[in-house]
Amino acid sequence: MSAPRLTRESARGVSARPGVRGPLVEPAAVGVVHLGIGAFHRAHQAVYTERAAALAGEREWGILGVTGRRPDVARVLDASGGVYGVLVRDGADVSVDVVGAVVEAASPDQDAERVVAAIAAETTAVVSLTITEHGYAGPPFSPPIELLVRGLRRRAAHGAPLSVLSCDNLVDNGAVLRRIVRAAVSGDDGVARWVDDAVRFPRSMVDRIVPATTAEDRRAAAVLTGFDDAGLVVAEPFSEWVIEDDLAERRPRWELAGARVVPDVEPYERLKLRTLNATHSLLAYEGEARGHTTIAEALDDDELARRVEALMAESGLTLEQPPGIDVVAYRAEVLRRFRNRGMRHTVAQIGHDGSRKLPIRVGGTIGDLVAQGVTPDATARVLAAWAVHLRRGAVVDPLADELQAAARAARDAVELAELVLRLPGIVPDAVAGRRDVRDAVAAHTAEILALA
């Protein structure tokens, strides 16, 4: 029996049902253009934006979401008037937050002109991005960056200030984005000057575990809401957003919804990348080698749990304590989050795109450890597990073909270790040729190869 569809109309009153909240807002205008409206944005920034708008009593913060890798999302969200649910899973407990912040969806190919016009519109105050690590390459620039730049060129005509907010897991994402945009507009002095004067590129750190939505998630949400929801996303209860206090004046009051707006994002970002994301990658690659399917299962493996703790302790040597965060409690919370049995977060999904993720999750740590006179050990294990994945696993990566071919051609653990250390950009150049680092990676590689 199929349930009626969740739409903006049908969602009115849905919060009367137990375990269901929202929608909290019915925006009257688009104030935010988001490039890359995948599951993560819908479970994270859109939720903050909706709560902030509701708490401030503002109706100007509707989101125009531009699709990324999944163009069908535009159709799904158009059909529901932008409304969708976030199924929050906490162990066996489930609840649904129905979100009303998204008012329009667009595809970058079919609706490019509408997106460019929205970026240029004076009513828009924020362009945010979740375009994954790949999106920041170039020139040639990725389609979302091309759209952003077209929008900025047009906006320069009236020159209203704007915040361009990267929400991707990169080191210093704001500065990276500013550099790309500046490179793209460099031929046009007027636009470049306006970008320098009036466009802010705050750095931000985002955190919420958002596994791929399954048919079972859709069924569980339908039981609670009474509606079928093709736009449903699933998430853990935890959520964190730290934004650099360098936003243009007009913007949603995200801090009302729990975001931290701080002078310096760097310590938060490092802590997250080197603690949560680095251990995620270890669990993904070594979990695969040990036959586990999900992160929670992998962490149930005592040997892996010990390795994760060792990795957190080792990367901790390179971290400073961000204001308001107790690092020991933070680590314990990350482990608790990974153990959430409600999340079927697969090691395969997290293992994607290692060549883009590992430089910032472990490469920097290795460089910093060596600079402190420490030979990386637990951190070297992540590269070793990745090397074994490249040789034996189902590799999804922009460099998949070349990496797999090279890993299969390696004759032994030492050659595999050399392969990953010498790939450009994985570890800092200063450590790529070091014998002690190679030996550490090779020793772990040999151990993991022997697991099968």
For ligand CS2, the binding residues (CB under 6 A) are 169, 207-209, 277, 280, 349-350, 357
DSSP 193-255: HHHHHHEE---EEEE---PPP-HHHHHHHHHHHSSB-TT-EEE-S--EEEEES---SSS--GG
What Cα–Cα distance (Å) separates residue 225 from each residue in 3, 16, 48, 96?
Answer: 10, 9, 21, 8
DSSP 355-376: HHHHIIIIIHHHHHHHHTT---
Q: Which is nearer to ligand CS2, 141 or 241 (CB)?
A: 241
CB of 337 to ligand CS2, least distance (A): 9
Which is nearest to 217 in space by CA: 235, 205, 197? 235
Half-sphere exposure of 304 (CA within 13 A, CB side): 29
Pick between residue 15 and residue 349 the one whose CB is nearest to ligand CS2. 349
Smallest separation, CB 18 to ligand CS2 (Å):
29
Report which of 81, 95, 82 is spatially closest to residue 42, judged by C-alpha positions.
82
Helix (H) or strand (E) holding 104: strand 102-106
Cβ proximity to ligand CS2, 104 vs 397, nearer residue: 397
Question: Nearest approach, Cβ of 273 to ligand CS2 (angstroms)?
Answer: 8
Question: Partners of 364 in the beta sheet?
Answer: none
Minimum Å gap between C-beta 155 and ligand CS2 is 30
Of the pair 276, 442, the CB lying nearest ligand CS2 is at 276
Residue 56 CB neighbours (<10 A): 15
199 Cα distance to chain centroid:
23
Nearer to ligand CS2, 153 or 270 (CB): 270
Minimum Å gap between C-beta 198 and ligand CS2 is 31
To the nearest whole angstrom, how small is the minimum distance from the Cβ of residue 27 to ligand CS2? 26
Distances (CA, A) of 255 to 79, 244, 252, 402: 31, 12, 9, 44
Query: Omega before 140 cis (within 30°)?
Result: yes
Helix (H) or strand (E) holding 11: none
When the beta carbons of 43 and 432 are compared against ligand CS2, the nearer one is 43
Choice between 280 and 389, CB closer to ligand CS2: 280
Of 124 and 169, CB closest to ligand CS2 = 169
Contact indicator for 292, 347 with CB cutoff of 8 Å: yes
**Half-sphere exposure (CA, 13 Å, Cβ side) for 175?**
5
Closer to ligand CS2 by Cβ: residue 327 or 449: 327
Q: How far is the CB of 118 from ligand CS2 (least distance, A)?
A: 27
Q: Tell me the backbone φ, ψ of residue 349, rounded to 5 degrees.
A: -65, -45
Q: Which of residues 201 and 241 has its CB atom nearest to ligand CS2 in the complex?
A: 241
Contact 27, 53 (CB under 8 A): yes
Q: How far is the CB of 230 from ligand CS2 (least distance, A)?
A: 23
Say how far apart CA 420 and CA 289 lie, in whole Å: 17
Could you give phi then psi for residue 247, rounded to 5 degrees? -105, 150
Which of 279, 281, 450, 447 shows the shortest CA–CA distance to 351? 281
Least distance (Å) between residue 349 CB and ligand CS2: 6
Residue 235, both tokens: 């998430």
DSSP letters, 182-201, are HHHTTT-HHHHHHHHHHEE-
The nearer residue to ligand CS2, 23 or 322, going by C-beta atoms, is 322
